[in-house]
Amino acid sequence: MSHRHKELESPRKRIDEIDEQILDLLSERGDIVRDVIKRKVENQLPVFVPAREEEKTEAFKKLARTKGIDPDWAEDFLRMIMTASRATQSQETFPIATDKPKHILLIGGEGGMGKLYKRMADQTGHITYSIDKSNWYELEEWAPKLDMVIVTVPINVTESVIERLSGRLKKETILADFTSNKSNPIDAMLKAHEGPVVGLHPMHGPDVQNLSKQLMVFCDARDRNKASWFKDQCELWGMRVIEADPEKHDHVMHLVQGLRHFVALLHGSFMEEYDLKPADMLDYSSPIYRAELMMTGRIFAQDAELYADIVFANKERRDLLIKFFDHHKKLATLVEENDREGFIKEFEGVTDFFGKFATQALEESGYLINRLADRFA
């Protein structure tokens, strides 16, 4: 056998050389990307440029095809490269959206999100302040300077923290919050402050590598145009910004956050009840099941209080969960009555309701699963 192995020596040597050349080229590309961020900072240009990435991707796929390389694979490869570029460009200094640095106070500045955005603002050249539990007394001294105050505290204390600001900010200061529900905090901010008010929801956690491609939801409440510089700033950081109506946003979030996280608890707690350990399940799991288990599992690596606050955020959310249990009972009768026909009817109803999305979900999850299988299986 071993002498046959020798046959591979020379092509393998060549493969090693080529792989090294790939790394050399990537390293050279990285140097250029580092130069690009300097120019972006000087010229106030954004880290993430979706149009450029899409153009590049199309051209790269075409090129790959002419060279006999699978275009879908080539797309993944290029997207990974560009993600690395954005990570490189998010390390030190960010382009600033304003002529002069802004004075930004983060309330809850010691929390995960507070720390992250404080660091981002600092690295952009803005002047930041942080208030947490122990230094509220500093507010009075800082208030006259502040262009913006962002409340980023746990959801269950957001409104009381906002009330605490009543009458203590100057009229020009923009008041904003980062809470994952929007209507109630916005009402509280409008009451506590007579100047510009905007409700924000960064749709990511504190552990993201950088903000590029992350989503920031903007809800206008009062004098939206005064806060447009912050929107520009988010875009320069590489974020995607969407404008939303607070009620609509909350309606979606009750389901996404309240229900989704509760179902994770249901799933996890029933595994405990059934005494089925994740490790035993993993042994038998296909990539898709593995992906599902990971989606549930990740919740329990995080803070219980955070999730309790999210699930029990407000009455609407709790009411929705009660409705969910009622619906559960309805479906449970299908099982009790061994109603196979009923199950199929319900199933097909959802298929119709989902429409095109079901096909899209099959496609997208297929992609995810293949990547996951590649990496972890």
Which CB sits closer to ligand PRE, 38 or 330? Answer: 38
36 interacts with ligand PRE by CB under 6 A? yes
* Pairing mode, strands 197-202 and 240-243: unpaired
- C-alpha 192/C-alpha 187 separation (Å) is 9
Residue number closest to ligand PRE, CB atom: 85
Q: Which residues pair with 220 in a beta bridge?
A: 198
75 interacts with ligand PRE by CB under 6 A? no
86 interacts with ligand PRE by CB under 6 A? yes
Which CB sits closer to ligand PRE, 41 or 121? Answer: 41
Long-range contacts of 46-51 (CB under 8 A, 24+ apart): 46/95, 46/235, 46/236, 46/237, 46/238, 47/86, 47/89, 47/90, 47/94, 47/95, 47/212, 47/236, 47/237, 47/238, 48/86, 48/212, 48/213, 48/238, 48/239, 48/240, 50/240
158 interacts with ligand PRE by CB under 6 A? no
Q: Which of 60, 64, 74, 85 binds ligand PRE (CB under 6 A)?
A: 85
Q: Evaluate whether 215 touches 196 at the Cβ level (below 8 Å).
A: no
Q: Evaluate whether 128 touches 115 at the Cβ level (below 8 Å).
A: no
State the Cα angle at 258 between 227 and 345, rounded to 5°.
125
- Minimum CB separation of residue 204 from ligand PRE in Å reads 18
Which CB sits closer to ligand PRE, 90 or 184? Answer: 90
- Minimum CB separation of residue 49 from ligand PRE in Å reads 4
Helices 71-88 and 9-43, axial angle in degrees (round to 10): 50
Amino acid at 178: F
**Interface with ligand PRE by CB under 6 A: which range of 15-23, 51-59, 203-211, 303-311?**
51-59
Which CB sits closer to ligand PRE, 55 or 348? Answer: 55
Which CB sits closer to ligand PRE, 85 or 180? Answer: 85
By CB under 6 A, the count of residues binding ligand PRE is: 10
48 interacts with ligand PRE by CB under 6 A? yes
291 interacts with ligand PRE by CB under 6 A? no
Contact footprint for ligand PRE (CB under 6 A): 33, 36, 48-49, 52-53, 56, 82, 85-86
